[in-house]
Amino acid sequence: MLRVKTSVELKNKLSNTLRNWLPILQSSLSDLGEAMAPFVESNPLIDIKSGYEESFESRIPKKIQYGYVQNSHSEAIEALTVQHKSLFDILEEQIDGSLFPTPVSQLIAKHVIENLDEGGYYEGDCDVFCRNEGITLEQFEKIRLRFIHVEPVGIGAKSVSESFLFQLESADIDDTAYSLAREMITHMDELGRYRKEEGFDEAMRVIGSFKNPPAIDFLEDSQQVIPDLMIYNDPDEGIEVRLNDRYYPSVSIDAEYRVDHPFVREKFKEAKSLVDALEMRKATLYKVGLMIVEYQYDFFIGGAIKPLTLKTLADEFGHNPSTISRAIANKYIACDRGIYPMKDFFTTAIDEDVSNAAIKDYVAELVRNESHKKPLSDMKLLEMIQDKFKITMVRRTIAKYRKQLNIAGSSERKQLYLLGRT
């Protein structure tokens, strides 16, 4: 059993220490030194040695850098310890799925990706592309608009307003504010006239959270991905979880301060707390790693990721799911299948007990068993889901899940059934 039980003492220590040093838990490994800087600057007893003083490449064995690795899972994972992922890389990973299942849709998706400006907007000449490839503009636009389901959301749009409409589809917003937000986005220069409309404040809150440009987080050529954990899968030894602690900054406390003074005592106490915070960060992420491996064991031996909610982990730690969400944000796991954000091993929660993966599975099951003469509408699917899971949702969410599952609308499915194509 990989999972270890957390003692009451460790839970209390985690709570007390990380409450005071939460930025250290939340920051990515590459940003850890920056998160610690304010605490260090105000404490003359602390000396920090960066975990990045050597070049990243110098830490990777030469035979790995130059591709001379043979049959070594451990060395392959070490080679992944530092990885640069560009926006192009991240988009390429998403166009092989159900959103772009045909050669034509793949061709169009690749064209869109290759013709994004640095902000993530499409700036290609679709007329020339369609003429050269024998594709109609209607076909092109139908495929391009599927980027509404691609992350980062808003990518592939032709304008700010279209990018905002893309982002609106993924926003947490009620139906009244959603309808108003759509209209406001199409009249961005006249927002003042909507001020008295019901849902205005909610619509403004959501619109204000959108990213412009949509690729703002990728304006640099690449982003450094430094995994906190490395998962080794040895055929003989089994699966092992290791902390990537070689990149942690080291903290030393100046023991020469022997003066018995309230200021020195306070700073010494803060310095010890900082060391504790680093150790608690390691302990927390290590245990998260153990639990991910236990719950997602099939993935690490070549299978698929299973539905797993943050609540499951939160219950193990005795914390709120939002605390665990912050703990895994911007954290990565390296294994022999690549480098993955920790959040990828969890399904997004609809509420505390129901994951969106469970909803999608149920939608697929309902459609699989529906009447061919009277396919289920999105409204009917919504009613059945709300009845089964005892939750409140909106029809747009069902439509989004259906499209992500590559399931046609009810009228289109009825035509397919009549044609004998299921």
Dist CA 232 CA 381 (whole Å): 42
Dist CA 176 CA 199 (whole Å): 6
Where are the extended beta strands (E) located within 223-269?
223-225, 229-234, 238-243, 250-253
Could you tell me the pTM of the whole model? Answer: 0.47
Nearest to 109 by CA among 85, 133, 86, 82: 133
pLDDT in tens, the chain (422 residues): 444 444 444 455 445 555 556 677 777 777 777 777 777 777 777 777 766 544 444 443 333 333 333 444 454 444 444 445 677 778 887 876 677 888 899 899 989 998 888 788 898 888 989 999 999 999 999 999 999 988 889 999 998 889 999 999 888 888 889 999 999 998 876 777 888 888 888 888 888 888 888 887 776 444 467 888 888 887 777 888 988 887 787 777 776 666 677 877 787 777 787 788 888 888 888 988 898 888 888 888 877 677 677 777 788 777 777 777 777 877 888 887 777 888 778 765 455 455 676 788 889 899 999 998 889 988 889 889 888 887 777 777 788 788 778 788 887 788 777 776 54
Structure tokens that stand for 165 in this block = 């409409």
Helix segments in 95-228, DSSP class H: 103-114, 126-133, 137-144, 160-168, 175-186, 200-208
Nearest to 330 by CA among 25, 20, 28, 3: 28
What ranges do the domains of the chain cover?
A: 8-59+224-345, 90-218, 356-418
Fold of 356-418: Arc Repressor Mutant, subunit A (1.10.10)
Cβ contacts of 359 within 8 Å, gap of 6 or more = 350, 385, 389, 393, 401
Is residue 401 helix, strand or coil? helix
Angle at 91 between CA 98 and CA 228, to 5 degrees: 110
Asked if 199 contacts 177 with a C-beta cutoff of 8 angstroms, the reply is yes
Cβ contacts of 177 within 8 Å, gap of 6 or more = 199, 202, 203, 206
